[in-house]
Amino acid sequence: MTEQTTIQHPYILKVALDVPLDGVFDYRSDTPLQAGQRVLVPFGPRKQVGIVVGTASESDIAPARLKSIIRHFDQEPALDAEFFSLLKFCADYYQYPYGQALLAALPARLRQTEPAQARQQFCYWLNAVGLAAGLDMLPARQVVQRRIFSALLEHGRLREADLAELSPGWRKGLAALSELGWIEQEQVYAGLRSILHASSVQPELNAEQSYAVQSVLQQRNEFRPWLLHGITGSGKTEVYMCLLQAILAGNEDQALVLVPEINLTPQLEARFRSRLPEYSLVTLHSNLSESERLQNWRLAQTGAARIVIGTRLSVFAPMPRLKCIIVDEEHDTSYKQQDSMRYHARDVALVRAQRRNIPIVLGSATPALETWHNAQVGRYGLLSLQQRAVSQSQLPQVKCVDVSKVQMQDGLSLPLVKALKTRLERGEQSLLFINRRGYAPVLLCNACHWIAPCMRCSSRLVVHLRQGCLRCHHCGHEQKIVRQCPSCGNPDLHPTGHGTQRLEEVLVKLLPEARILRVDRDSTRRKNALDHMLAAVHAGEVDILIGTQMLAKGHDFPNLTLVGVLDTDSALFSPDFRATERLFAQLMQVAGRAGRADKAGEVLIQTTLPEHHLFNALRGQDYAAYASGILQEREIAQFPPYEFLALVRAEANDYAPVQGFLQFAAEAAREMGSAALVYDPVRPQMERLKGMERGQLLMQASSRQVLQQLLRQLTPQMRAHPLSNRVRWNVDVDPQEF
DNA sequence: AGCACGCCGACT
DNA sequence: GTCGGCGTGCTC
């Protein structure tokens, strides 16, 4: 009986599954599937998609318990060995189950139980009938049809993406032309070059840029990390493009460009497409539909896409001929995944480059201190771009306004108001930059100093006057504005603090003739709202922009000559040791917004600490001076990059099990005789979040190896602890904040 | 993580 | 009598 089953299914497959368990699972199969193939298997009472990670002739599992796979998907291209080994490394390093790590790195379509069909895209052109026809044969009111016809006439073949750029109603217009019998179509790769954009202009590189490109090229066949350090406007993107041009020319090789999780991908994509039109390019980011994502991922996997521009997750995209990795804005915090497997895409990219023996370029105006440190000690090559590519533009003048010494009106200092007035008179634009944190208005009782709290989080509710409600920015809880103080009965409650809405009202009062635009999460919630707003700024329809982080990067506003920074103190006084350097990076970036064309820019910063060395460094746009100061502090305080950290985070409905669990973890860790320092469990800044009581345990060591060895022993012990099912917990290696 | 099994309280 | 609360334990 058993023998018969064995004969029917002679092969044993090692299958990884999306379950929070260590190890892989054995299944029988009647075909010898190769590693990297997808299978559907029975798992307990349900079916699961798994990935074959290997084959065997025997299994440790009793034959009676061994099940057979339900089906396999061998028509799909198999995952390569590099994919497995990179995710194995990450699963180990970040203390995350291997199967879950593997499955999470796949496009969602490949985690579903159906065979995955990538969307097929087409390109279109005019056939003989169409070419013989003329524009005048189309009714004048059929604007879309006429536009498509003209474009096809001019460019020959167009992709769907090109047509979509002509008009949102292109499908209907094209269908009408098709109906006339004018159109031919053929399936293409979505990522093939854009014809509309192809205008390959080769700009001159300056000496620094050429040096950077040549340096990387000289060691193009070995693992070599480079820090490309260049201030805003110094032409980092041009360096990337020239480098890729040289690396990809005359071969079938591939390059990966990682970008932060912001809406800048389209701009970068357009630049790469027009500058490198001869190479097929795909993007991988969260705005793609699942079918597009699968298609682009497949193009990367098969090697058809020569350039992949993608966010965090695309660091895992299989690329058989990968020869170079670029990490743009490498300091950006969005490279760190903040749930499930808490990997850092920049660090994973470094590991990947090392294993492939290829160069990797990390670009930033304000590098992460770890990166800067590595460049200083010679582990990374340092490539500096000091000149601004737009030569006539000058560095902005940076001035501090001591808010404890000057007259203030509703959060605005007199010098700032004056400066705004001057720009208004000159017809120039201004930007008021707000750090949301210190600027959210709260509901305060003047009698007993009660402040409306969130019931589910240890945070304060934010007043939204327009909607007449109080809202928690952490959990989304919303309630009506209370009229009476629940603590002392005082009926006189006031919103205090200067929200973006309040600030807008104040400005309208002070500068009634100014056209003001507020750009924040509330005002850009509608789709495309941000694009429309940016367009309005470019068109000169706006005098004063009020905005948060969103405005710090990306677009150039040539007529913008003043940047006012309203709140710096909440970051300067924050207990989080990374808060000041994030503020510095932000200010470097906003300062870059001012005076980018031929007009001199001015940056006015309101602060109570005008003497802070951060502002001096900012004044000279001197990252190096700032970084060396901070690095000294870090070395004395024994913080990263001199020490390595890991954090166990835990949460539950009550604190008791959290406390118990973390206490156990701390004791277990200490008993291991590791050189690592194990702190006591503490409560984080945000003690309660979404109704969950939180706690955390910090561990610190002078090398990654020591920390890794500790975690390798500790995590299984934590998993085996009875409380581990009663609390939600995870391990965060190299945490960004705590 | 799911999902089943299992053993105790308030309902048609 | 049974519907359903969530504790415990397993998944090749």
What average pLDDT does this structure show over A140-169?
A: 86
DSSP letters spanning A97-117: -HHHHHHHTS-GGGGSSSPP-
Residue A80: pLDDT band with limits 50, 70, 90:
very high
Model pLDDT for residues A227-257, shown as the tens digit of each residue: 999 987 789 999 999 999 999 999 999 999 9
- pLDDT of res. A101: 98
Q: Is A448 annotated as a binding residue?
A: yes
Longest dimension (CA), chain A: 93
**pLDDT of the residue at A6:** 46
Please indicate if the annotation marks A123 as binding a ligand: no
Q: Nearest-CA neighbor of A681 among A647, A724, A726?
A: A647
Q: What DSSP designation does A443 have?
A: E
Instruction: Write the pLDDT tens digit of every residue in A404-454.
Output: 899 888 788 999 999 999 999 999 999 998 876 556 778 888 888 888 888
What is the reported pLDDT for A499? 65
Q: Which band of pLDDT confidence, cut at 50, 70 and 90, is reported for residue A1? A: very low
HSE on the CB side for A2, CA within 13 Å?
A: 5
More confident residue, A528 or A295: A295
Residue A263 has pLDDT above 80, yes or no: no
> Hey, what are A717's tokens?
């012990």
pTM over 0.85: yes
Q: A289 CA, C12 C1': separation in Å? A: 34
pLDDT category, A201, cuts 50, 70, 90?
A: low
Homologous superfamily of the A207-385 domain (CATH)? P-loop containing nucleotide triphosphate hydrolases (3.40.50.300)
Residue A5: pLDDT band with limits 50, 70, 90? very low
The answer to whether A445 is annotated as binding is: yes
Residues in contact with A328: Cβ distance below 8 Å, sequence separation at least 6, in sequence order: A236, A237, A240, A257, A258, A259, A260, A268, A363
Whole-number Å distance, CA A724 to C1' C7? 13
- Protein residue closest via CA to C1' of C9: A725
A216 contacts: CB under 8 Å, gap ≥ 6:
A224, A226, A243, A324, A359, A361, A381, A383
**Nearest protein residue to the C1' atom of C11, measured from CA:** A44
Find out whether A472 is annotated in a ligand binding site.
Answer: yes
| Class of A644-733 in CATH | alpha beta
Share of chain A above pLDDT 70, in %: 92
Domain spans, chain A: 2-111, 121-188, 207-385, 397-440+497-571+581-622, 644-733
Task: Round and report the angstrom distance from CA (A118) to C1' (B4).
Answer: 37
**Which residues 702-731 of chain A have a CB under 7 Å from nucleic chain B?**
728
pLDDT band for A198, please (50, 70, 90 cuts).
Answer: low
Q: Fold identical between A2-111 and A644-733? A: no
What mean pLDDT is predicted for residues A524-542? 81
CATH fold group of domain A397-440+497-571+581-622: Rossmann fold (3.40.50)
CA of A104 to C1' of C6 (A): 29
How far from the centroid of its chain's Cα atoms is residue A260's Cα? 4
Q: What is the CATH number of domain A2-111?
A: 3.40.1440.60
Average pLDDT in chain A: 88
**Would you place residue A136 in the very low, low, confident or very high pLDDT band (cuts 50, 70, 90)?**
confident
Convert the pLDDT of each residue in A377-399 to its tens digit. 999 999 999 876 554 456 788 89
Q: Which nucleotides of B are covered by protein (CB under 7 A)?
A: 1-4
Residue A307: pLDDT band (50, 70, 90) is very high
A489 touches strand B (CB under 7 A): no
- Tens digit of each residue's pLDDT (9 = 90 or more) over A334-383: 999 999 999 999 999 999 999 999 999 999 999 999 999 999 999 999 99
Residue A457, marked binder? yes
